[in-house]
Amino acid sequence: MKRFPAYLSLTISVLLLAVVAAFASDPQRIAVLTAFDKEMEAVKSYMVPKYAAVTTSTINGTRFDAVYIQDHLFIFALSGQSMINAAMNTQLVIDRFHVDAVVFVGIAGGINPTLRPGDVIVPSEWIHQMESVWANPDPDRPGEHILPTWWTPKYGHYYEIYPNDVEVVREGMESPESIHAFPADPGLLDAASRAASNLKLEGSNGHAAQVIVGGSGMSGPVFLDNAKFRQFCWDTWHVNGHDMESTAVAQVGWVNHVPVLVVRGLCDLAGGQTGSNDERLYFQIASKNAAIVAAQTLMGLK
């Protein structure tokens, strides 16, 4: 294959950047975050043109790549793994780059028993897993627990663990309120639905992959690999998947009034499998399918 000389490729990239910048003096800014570098590689492979000009900066050790694509300015960055890292770097990209939306892409564990590895979920809301009261057993009532006097359980319990909602405040509210789930942006969900309707994705073991837009997801600082707790999550909330970052991203977006969309490819069954969990087996296909859905969603934005 014939290659352009290096200087010519650079010239083309600079000219393209100048043309796009002139055409869109105030482009919509969208942050695209993933937890792992392999997830980011998959996303960029479907979104970033080969000769696109990339502006790189590093803040607090986190690298941010800014790229103009189709009249939008995309900021690509790693959130880091788990809830605190995800919250911290989502707030960072909002504060420093003044983004208009945040899209989080990557892998998750499947909770919905009808879903398989390779399927993609795009939930309309995200719930915390570990906001909970852990109670002592009641010696006078076997199977019961001694709960705080100031608190009434909302969702039953998993042994001594009683799930709870989180109290959050944002601009426009006089005081914190109890929030059960943090929503995805309706406009971005509609864009994901349109993108998904035109896609045919390969799933695991020869199955065609499903793309489920809507429903609930759940996150917590836990690699979930427990069949009983998985069943409790399904029975209690009917969540489609569980991961370690997305609810933190959705909460930060909600607090800042910044639209959020999360696209997750299922790489395992969160403990629903037989034998040991090996998320690496389906990591590649889960990352690929999530990246394709996210890329098609974002490329379809006006």
Q: Does residue 135 sit within a domain?
A: yes
User: For residues 15 and 36, which has the higher predicted lDDT (pLDDT)?
Assistant: 36
Please report the pLDDT score of residue 250 as a whole number. 98
How much helix, strand and coil, in percent to the nearest 5, is found in the chain?
A: 35, 30, 35
User: What is the extent of the structural domain holding 115?
Assistant: 6-299
On average, the pLDDT of the chain sits at: 91
* pLDDT score of 45 more than 80: yes
- Across 187-213, average pLDDT: 94
Rounded Cα distance, 283 and 40, in Å: 13
How many other CB atoms are there within 10 angstroms of residue 41's CB atom? 12
Please report the pLDDT score of residue 15 as a whole number. 39
- Across 154-170, average pLDDT: 96
- Chain Cα centroid distance, residue 235: 22
Q: Does residue 49 sit within a domain?
A: yes
- Across 184-203, average pLDDT: 96
Q: Does residue 118 sit within a domain?
A: yes
| Torsion sign across C-alpha atoms 93, 94, 99, 101 | positive
Q: Does residue 1 sit within a domain?
A: no
CATH number at residue 86: 3.40.50.1580
- Across 189-206, average pLDDT: 94
Rounded Cα distance, 162 and 165, in Å: 10
Please report the pLDDT score of residue 220 as a whole number. 97
Q: Does residue 23 sit within a domain?
A: yes
* pLDDT score of 114 more than 60: yes
Q: How confident is the model at residue 20 (pLDDT cuts 50, 70, 90)?
A: very low
Q: Does residue 107 sit within a domain?
A: yes
* Beta strands 101-110; 120-122: pairing state: unpaired
Rounded Cα distance, 104 and 107, in Å: 10
Please report the pLDDT score of residue 25 as a whole number. 59
- Across 106-111, average pLDDT: 98
| Radius of gyration of the CA atoms of the chain, in A | 21
Q: How confident is the model at residue 153 (pLDDT cuts 50, 70, 90)?
A: very high
pLDDT digits (tens, 9 = 90+) for 130-143: 999 999 999 999 99
The β-bridge partners of 300 are none
Rounded Cα distance, 288 and 296, in Å: 12
Please report the pLDDT score of residue 6 as a whole number. 47
- The tally of domains found in the chain comes to 1
Please report the pLDDT score of residue 23 as a whole number. 40
pTM for this prediction: 0.89
- The kind and range of the H/E element at 294 are helix 280-299
Please report the pLDDT score of residue 7 as a whole number. 41
Q: Does residue 160 sit within a domain?
A: yes
